[in-house]
């Protein structure tokens, strides 16, 4: 089977080498606050690349757009303003931190390519509203594309591999790329929509084993209106449950995610399902850890787990750290950078956690 | 007329039928076949619809027609280029030029590469096979999963690579629906207790005895027909295939697991058809060769002396292909007389 899977590698995209403009996610810094900082550190300090993190940036409108509260004309104009910030920095390589933003930007640019009058209209809107001009990015890469591109170089610097240090066996990893990464335009992804390679490539390169389970392509459960409209949240949980039930027999060591929303829902809904039904999808009643690709890369490079923000994960990562052989100090888990004790979250009733 | 020389490109049913007809009328033929053995795509089939005739017998009957003193059969030879030079046609192989007064293009079809429908898992999951693989399995007499188990269930999916905007093929391949009916019956005869499902958009039973066979498959063999396309196939822990589809008659999404999924791959223009047609400005939609007129001049092209026969033009059934080969031969005779 492994030999057959190699043809997924045929689906490749052009990923710029260097000189990126970074566009941050609206929600990641609250939910998984170490990921974006880790990415910038990895690019700048480990790979020696240039990436601009502009303080004047803003939303791409993705959540509003997919909830039908922001019209597409507005979305195009807001995206154009972000492109104008990139243009100000004399850059052409745009790197949106979020999979939904990535989908929005590729959709906007494709719209402009297919309907040039929409581009002209957007230029006029932006000019009237802000007096700004912009260039359309020459290259759009999701941050995971860049990590994938440099996965071999990063491997040389890594202190740990995706191997269970107690058994010597590869860790079993579920990967989830997020619907908006490849299902909108598979040509803009690494590996296509059906058997994506972007996260799988990292996992395999770094010693892990990718699990191909039946609901691999299913939505994480976010689905925007499925969650944002409160009455629909049961549908959101049900979809997450479907995924976890499907992956459970394979006993994954962790889930690797690409998208802020997917990370959030696959992590937090495990708590919800545990409290609702007294059910977790591991044998220790602790849930299956969910990591972003930046967190994973940082961990393997030897970054401090608490600097990466693992203390704000719902499903505790300590069992995974133990498997990887990564040392950590629980005393530091809820200590801020100034040394101040930040307090512990409330303990769930059913889901087990690694604090008192 | 008998000093004229006809080059036929393609040793399938259309090319052989035309060659035999022309040879019987005293015309000298050189027939090129890219493979070692003649017969075209019949080589891939065990039994033929709608009467379950033995494909090897039919193939022998067809290929025996090559045994004629006026036919020079050259196998393992691909025509790289076809062009005109000093009122002659030149068929160029990788190392030799062949001259002819007339050329008949009978380069046939290729089956759709199911790997292009990634979501169906062909080439990735061992128990996802194509209709061609099914024929080979049937020929061996063993209907087993990759793990050597007698299957409890099988699903056939029609229109793989046909009527599919995503892969750029809007047309119907015409033979897949009836092939699925035939294969479902063959499966049920070998494994009577197993379940057979057939996913379809429309069951296009346009040929003689097709409708009767479709009915028989349900009444006698209990084949279940589900109107809906499979959106995704995935592998389960025990290497079975999980299918997601929508039953459009009940308007409900469905999920089921089967032991084997058979993809009914459609007909596409062969590489040679597309290349030679393009080089000679006779290429039509989807890379098939374009005839001068569908009505009355379907074996002629806009290029005098260049004729077409069989599935290089469009999807056809085997009887239609053979008849078309004969039709092309008649047109060539008329051309020579004029």
Measured distance CA(A347)–CA(B228) in Å, rounded: 47
Nearest Cα residue in chain B from A183? B119
Q: What SS3 string covers chain A?
A: CHHHHHHHHHCCCCCCCCCEEEECCCCHHHHCCCHHHHHHHHHHHHCCCCEEECCCCCCCCHHHHHCCCCCHHHHHHHHHHHHHHHHHCCCCEEEECCHHHHHHHHHHHHHHHHCHHHHHHHHHHHHHHHCCCCCCCCEECCHHHHHHHCHHHHHHHCCCCCECCCCCCECEEEEECCHHHHCCCHHHCCCCCCCCCHHHHHHHHCCCEECCCCCCCCCCCCCCHHHHCHHHHHHHHHHHHHHHHHHHHHCCCEEEECCHHHHHHHHHHHHHHHHHHCCCCCCCCCCCCEEEHHHHHHHHHCCCCCCCCHHHCCCCCHHHHHHHCCCCCHHHCCECCCCCECCCCCCCCCCCCCCC
User: Which of A177, A183, A214 should we substitute to test contact with B (largest number of B Cβ atoms within 10 Å)?
Assistant: A214
**What average pLDDT does the segment A239-245 reach?**
97
**What average pLDDT does the segment B44-66 reach?**
96
- Is A195 in contact with B118 (Cβ distance < 8 A)? yes
| SS3 at position B305 | coil
Distance from CA of B153 to the nearest CA of A (A): 18
Q: Domain residue spans in chain A?
A: 15-143, 151-332
User: Which of B124, B233, B239, B245 should we substitute to test contact with A (largest number of A Cβ atoms within 10 Å)?
Assistant: B124
- Per residue in B217-247, pLDDT (tens digit) is 999 999 999 999 999 999 999 999 999 999 9
Considering only the top CATH level, what class is B114-266?
A: alpha beta
Give the CA count within 13 Å in the CB-facing half-sphere of B82. 29
Q: What are the phi and psi torsion angles at B42 (to 5°)?
A: -60, -25
Looking at chain A, the whole-number percentage of residues with pLDDT higher than 70 is 97
Give the CA count within 13 Å in the CB-facing half-sphere of A39. 30
Is the pLDDT at A11 greater than 90, yes or no?
no
> At A109, is the pLDDT very low, low, confident or very high (cuts 50, 70, 90)?
very high
Among partner residues A1, A192, A250, which is closest to B237 by beta-carbon distance?
Answer: A250
Nearest Cα residue in chain A from B146? A1
CATH number of A15-143: 1.20.1050.140
Could you write out the DSSP letters of every residue in B201-249?
S-----STTHHHHHHHHHHTT--EEEES-EEEEEE-TTS-EEEEEEETT
Q: List all residues 6 or more positions away from A290 whose beta carbon is below 8 Å from its beta carbon.
A: A254, A255, A257, A263, A266, A267, A270, A313, A315
> At A194, is the pLDDT very low, low, confident or very high (cuts 50, 70, 90)?
confident
Among partner residues A5, A193, A214, which is closest to B236 by beta-carbon distance?
Answer: A214
Q: What's the angle, vertex CA A136, arms to CA A130 and CA A139, rounded to 5?
A: 140
**What average pLDDT does the segment A150-167 reach?**
98
- Is A212 in contact with B235 (Cβ distance < 8 A)? yes
Residue B142: the pLDDT is 87
* Interface membership of B234 toward A (CB under 8 Å): yes
* Interface membership of B253 toward A (CB under 8 Å): no
Is the pLDDT at B10 greater than 70, yes or no?
yes
* Interface membership of A242 toward B (CB under 8 Å): no
**Chain B residues lying within 8 Å of A242, measured CB to CB:** none
- Per residue in A22-75, pLDDT (tens digit) is 999 999 888 999 999 999 999 999 999 999 999 999 999 999 999 999 999 999
- Is A212 in contact with B126 (Cβ distance < 8 A)? no
**Chain A residues lying within 8 Å of B118, measured CB to CB:** 192-195
Helix, strand, coil percentages (3-state) for chain B, rounded to 5, are 30, 30, 40
Interface ipTM above 0.90: no
Measured distance CA(B48)–CA(B264) in Å, rounded: 15
- Is A5 in contact with B124 (Cβ distance < 8 A)? yes
- Per residue in A290-331, pLDDT (tens digit) is 999 999 999 999 999 999 999 999 999 999 999 999 999 999
- Per residue in B234-280, pLDDT (tens digit) is 999 999 999 999 999 999 999 999 999 999 999 999 999 999 999 99
Measured distance CA(A93)–CA(A87) in Å, rounded: 10
User: Which of A194, A219, A248 should we substitute to test contact with B (largest number of B Cβ atoms within 10 Å)?
Assistant: A194
Superfamily of domain B5-108+270-337: FAD/NAD(P)-binding domain (3.50.50.60)
Measured distance CA(A306)–CA(A327) in Å, rounded: 11
Looking at chain B, the whole-number percentage of residues with pLDDT higher than 90 is 95
Residue A5: the pLDDT is 54
Nearest Cα residue in chain A from B117? A194
Nearest Cα residue in chain B from A195? B118
> At A1, is the pLDDT very low, low, confident or very high (cuts 50, 70, 90)?
very low
Distance from CA of B232 to the nearest CA of A (A): 9
Residue B76: the pLDDT is 96
> At A139, is the pLDDT very low, low, confident or very high (cuts 50, 70, 90)?
very high
- Is A192 in contact with B124 (Cβ distance < 8 A)? no
> At A10, is the pLDDT very low, low, confident or very high (cuts 50, 70, 90)?
low
- Chain B stretch 179-218, residues whose beta carbon is closer than 8 A to a beta carbon of chain A: none
Is the pLDDT at A2 greater than 50, yes or no?
no
> At A191, is the pLDDT very low, low, confident or very high (cuts 50, 70, 90)?
confident
> At B1, is the pLDDT very low, low, confident or very high (cuts 50, 70, 90)?
low
- Per residue in A267-294, pLDDT (tens digit) is 999 999 999 999 999 999 999 999 999 9
Helices (H), chain B: 13-24, 55-63, 131-140, 176-190, 210-219, 271-279, 318-337
Q: What is the β-pairing status of strands B252-258 and B241-247?
A: antiparallel
> At B335, is the pLDDT very low, low, confident or very high (cuts 50, 70, 90)?
very high
Q: Which comes out higher in pLDDT, residue B9 or A7? A: B9
* Interface membership of B247 toward A (CB under 8 Å): no
DSSP-derived secondary structure letter, B17: H
Q: Domain residue spans in chain B?
A: 5-108+270-337, 114-266
CATH number of A151-332: 3.40.50.11810
Residue A9: the pLDDT is 65
Residue B2: the pLDDT is 66
Residue A248: the pLDDT is 98
User: Which of B116, B118, B241 should we substitute to test contact with A (largest number of A Cβ atoms within 10 Å)?
Assistant: B118
Measured distance CA(A343)–CA(B65) in Å, rounded: 89
Distance from CA of A84 to the nearest CA of B (A): 35
Mean pLDDT over all residues of chain A?
A: 94
- Is A214 in contact with B115 (Cβ distance < 8 A)? no
Residue A3: the pLDDT is 45
Q: Read off the tokens for B96.
A: 């030799």
- Per residue in B15-28, pLDDT (tens digit) is 999 999 999 999 99
């Amino acid at each position: 089977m492994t030999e057959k899977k190699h043809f997924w590698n045929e689906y490749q995209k052009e990923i710029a080498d260097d000189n990126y403009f970074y566009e941050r996610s609206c929600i990641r810094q609250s939910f998984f606050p170490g990921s974006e900082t880790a990415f910038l550190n990895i690019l700048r300090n480990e790979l020696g690349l240039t990436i601009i993190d502009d303080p004047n940036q803003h939303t791409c409108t993705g959540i509003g757009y997919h909830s039908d509260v922001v019209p597409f004309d507005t979305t195009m104009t807001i995206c154009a303003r972000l492109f104008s910030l990139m243009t100000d920095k004399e850059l052409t390589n745009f790197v949106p931190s979020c999979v939904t933003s990535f989908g929005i930007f590729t959709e906007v640019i494709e719209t402009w390519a297919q309907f040039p009058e929409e581009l002209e209209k957007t230029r006029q809107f932006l000019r009237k509203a802000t007096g700004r001009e912009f260039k359309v990015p020459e290259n759009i890469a999701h941050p995971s594309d860049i990590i994938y591109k440099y996965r071999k170089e990063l491997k040389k610097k890594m202190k740990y591999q995706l191997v269970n240090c107690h058994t010597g066996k590869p860790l079993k990893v579920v990967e989830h790329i997020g619907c908006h990464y490849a299902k909108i335009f598979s040509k803009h992804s690494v590996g296509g929509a059906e058997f994506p390679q972007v996260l799988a490539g990292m996992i395999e390169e770094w010693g892990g084993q990718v699990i191909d389970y039946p609901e691999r392509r299913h939505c994480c459960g976010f689905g925007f209106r499925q969650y944002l409209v409160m009455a629909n949240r049961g549908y959101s949980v049900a979809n997450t449950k479907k995924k976890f039930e499907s992956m459970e027999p394979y006993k994954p060591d962790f889930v690797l995610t690409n998208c802020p929303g997917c990370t959030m829902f696959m992590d937090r809904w495990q708590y919800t399902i545990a409290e609702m039904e007294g059910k977790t999808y591991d044998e220790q009643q602790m849930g299956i850890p969910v990591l972003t690709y930046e967190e994973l890369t940082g961990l393997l490079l030897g970054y401090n787990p608490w600097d990466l923000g693992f203390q704000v994960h719902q499903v505790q990562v300590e069992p995974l750290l133990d498997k990887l052989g990564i040392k950590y100090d629980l005393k530091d888990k809820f200590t801020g950078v100034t040394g101040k004790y930040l307090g512990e979250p409330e303990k769930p009733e059913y889901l087990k956690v690694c604090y008192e | 007329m008998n000093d004229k020389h006809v080059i036929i490109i393609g040793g399938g049913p259309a090319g052989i039928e035309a060659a035999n007809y022309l040879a019987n009328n005293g015309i000298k033929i050189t027939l090129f076949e890219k493979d070692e053995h003649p017969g075209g795509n019949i080589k891939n089939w065990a039994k033929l619809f709608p009467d379950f005739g033995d494909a090897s017998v039919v193939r022998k009957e067809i290929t025996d027609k090559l045994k004629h003193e006026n036919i020079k059969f050259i196998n393992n030879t691909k025509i790289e280029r076809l062009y005109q030079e000093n009122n002659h046609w030149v068929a160029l192989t990788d190392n030799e030029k062949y001259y002819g007064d007339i050329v008949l293009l009978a380069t046939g079809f290729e089956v759709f590469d199911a790997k292009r429908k990634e979501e169906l898992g062909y080439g990735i999951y061992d128990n996802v096979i194509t209709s061609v693989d099914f024929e080979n399995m049937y020929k061996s007499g063993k209907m087993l999963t990759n793990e050597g188990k007698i299957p409890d269930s099988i699903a056939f999916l029609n229109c793989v690579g046909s009527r599919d905007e995503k892969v750029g093929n809007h047309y119907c391949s015409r033979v897949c629906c009836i092939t699925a009916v035939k294969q479902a019956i063959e499966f049920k005869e070998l494994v009577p207790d197993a379940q057979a499902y057939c996913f379809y958009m429309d069951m296009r039973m346009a040929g003689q005895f097709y409708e009767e066979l479709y009915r028989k498959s349900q009444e006698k063999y209990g084949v279940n027909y589900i109107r809906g396309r499979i959106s995704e196939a995935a592998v389960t822990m025990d290497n079975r295939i999980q299918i997601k589809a929508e039953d459009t008659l009940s308007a409900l999404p469905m999920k089921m697991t089967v032991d084997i999924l058979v993809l009914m791959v459609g007909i596409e223009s062969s590489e040679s058809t597309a290349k030679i047609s393009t080089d000679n400005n006779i290429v039509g939609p989807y890379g098939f060769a374009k005839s001068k007129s569908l009505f009355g001049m379907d074996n002629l092209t806009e290029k005098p002396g260049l004729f077409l026969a069989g599935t290089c033009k469009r999807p056809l059934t085997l009887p239609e292909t053979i008849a078309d080969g004969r039709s092309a031969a008649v047109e060539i005779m008329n051309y020579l007389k004029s």
